[in-house]
Amino acid sequence: MISIIIPSLNEEKYLPLLLASIKDQKFFDYEIILADAGSKDKTLEIAKRYNCIITSGGLPAKGRNEGAKIAKGDVLFFLDSDVILSEGFLDKSLAEFEERNLDIASFCIKTYPTNRFLDHLLEYYYNRPMRFLEKVLPHAAMGILVKRDLYDELKGFDETIKIAEDMDFARRANKIANFGIIKSVILYSSDRRLKTDGWFRTGIKFFLCELYMIFIGPVRSDIFKYKFGHYKNKEGTKK
């Protein structure tokens, strides 16, 4: 069994899309754990409708760790709340995970709704470098598949890190285990951050964050002003 762990905060718009995509999979040996940081909208109502196990969360690192505490699976699958799994995603990714004898893995991404310009940027400035550097400088975001034993050995995600705690987790894992980028599937991610914060500003922020991590170390100050749950729809409701 795998445990799918999703940190959330006011995700009534995106969470049902993710949960529906999980339900539509042909792989059924899973549990879904929602680690919620105090949603004020219909997030918890939606989670209950999909039979999610609900626990308290916080910022993404804390949410993932809180979810892992009650997880029963021998493989943990950490997902952002605004992603969608394509048809056959779980079967294909788990088969490749096993065939390549991976201990931890992440995924290339595309946007939804489809945006050719943004997908072109992601392909050349994220996906290709990520595949090329997978054994040298691991990147992991939005979706992380990891064996429970390795997660426990690493003592989970570092909750003192303000941004890119998922990258830190993957790089610590790569020192003692086999990391890889799954090539048989694509993870679809909402374009909301790129729209809300701007694609250029977002790209520069994460490029500088990358340099900071390489030359200084994990980002434990609020220098990059990371926000969780600050997205808004057209009506102005926080997401």
**Model confidence at 231: pLDDT above 70:** no
Tell me: pLDDT of 223 over 70: yes
Q: List residues bridging with 4 in a β-sheet.
A: 32, 77
What pLDDT is recorded for position 235? 38
- Alpha-carbon Rg for the chain, nearest whole angstrom, is 17
pTM for the full predicted model = 0.91
Q: What pLDDT was estimated at residue 230?
A: 57
Torsion 199-160-12-108 (CA) sign: positive
* pLDDT the model gives residue 237: 40
Give 53's strand partners.
Answer: 33
- To which residue do tokens 């990358």 refer? 210
Among 37, 70, 15, which Cα is nearest to 229's? 37
Predicted local confidence at residue 224, as pLDDT: 75
Peptide bond into 60 cis (omega under 30): no
Q: What pLDDT, in 10s, does the model give residues 157-209?
A: 999 999 999 999 999 999 999 999 999 999 999 988 877 778 788 888 888 99
- Sequence ranges of the domains in the chain: 2-215
**DSSP code, position 224:** T
The amino acid occupying position 192 is R
Neighbours of 147 (CB within 10 A): 20
Of the candidate CATH numbers 3.40.630.10, 3.90.550.10, 3.40.1160.10, 3.40.250.10, the domain formed by 2-215 belongs to 3.90.550.10
Of 15-29, 40-54, 181-195, where does mean pLDDT reach its minimum?
A: 181-195
- The whole-angstrom separation of Cα 227 and Cα 52 is 25
pLDDT value of residue 189? 94
Asked whether 165 and 177 are in contact (CB, 8 A), the reply is: no
C-alpha–C-alpha distance, residues 18 and 84, integer Å:
5
Q: Reduce the DSSP state of residue 83 to 3 states and report it.
A: strand
Mean pLDDT, all residues of the chain: 92
